[in-house]
Structure 1
């Protein structure tokens, strides 16, 4: 099998991520969050969109609680499967505003949706499976984030474990690179020209 295809990298990372213990996820995520909140662009941003972590992804729930404490406006996404888009929605309450969708991950309840225009978001914390040192990313294959990122000038930040970073990953012209990749050990500058 080709070792540089998106499919191969997705499978490899999912297998490696599955091996992480809860303690690994917690400790590595804490280090990532400390690096993330030290970013001047994060400190300056008032409206921040963040994914809701699922299945050993970099954990974001403690980060969200911290952002509420910092007075940030927290935005997360609702997946509109009919239109194949993400709807950014202001998150008011971690405990009351969310529910599990049919795919098993949390997202805003329909009645709790409070849509936010993509252009009004200052910074987006993006999930993904594999990244390279110039900001290219491989997501889960749905293209949801790429569609959203085309509508905003927000700073794009990926959070990742160190094993998710490669010298190069395949990218297409519709793939939107990120400005930063934050790992437990370092902050990688991606591309500054992708806003």
Structure 2
């Protein structure tokens, strides 16, 4: 019974977080993100302002739809994935899982467009993304047996993030292509080497 109660509480938390994120996005699209208040979001989701702050530190995170479960699942995958899974493949699994969640609610494109139109939302997304990347880099470096200051794990994580950002921008120009499809193409290019002719020697500048 305790296990069932715990599962019910977790489901209720997920539902409340989703309701707040949905309300925040809807209001931001209607009024503009700068004109939305926490009080309005809470009222639209039928919860108290205090409950809002149990899930999001500010309205921008709600509009962005930030879900800490995504990062926790990613870190768990870092710890438990089979040793033969390559670093970039592992990041693809991480990204694909998040994209499946975001695309399933049908709001990924509208949220992406809204973010790109708001400098404040872009800034908040960058700050939160950098924090996620630091934690993922530390976990990947540990998995790879490399120092926390090693370039390779940091580059793998950052390149994965760049592939997602490029895909979101290109999706605005080619809305008939799904974001996950564009991200997949980016990952394949990273795996194949985006510039086989790269030359870091002095003759490369002549």
TM-score of the pair, normalised by structure 2: 0.26
Which structure would you say has the larger RCO, counting Cα contacts within 8 Å and 6 or more residues apart?
A: 1
**Larger helix share, 1 or 2:** 2
| TM-score normalised by the chain length of structure 1 | 0.26
Higher strand proportion: 1
Considering only CA atoms, is the larger Rg found in Structure 1 or Structure 2? 2
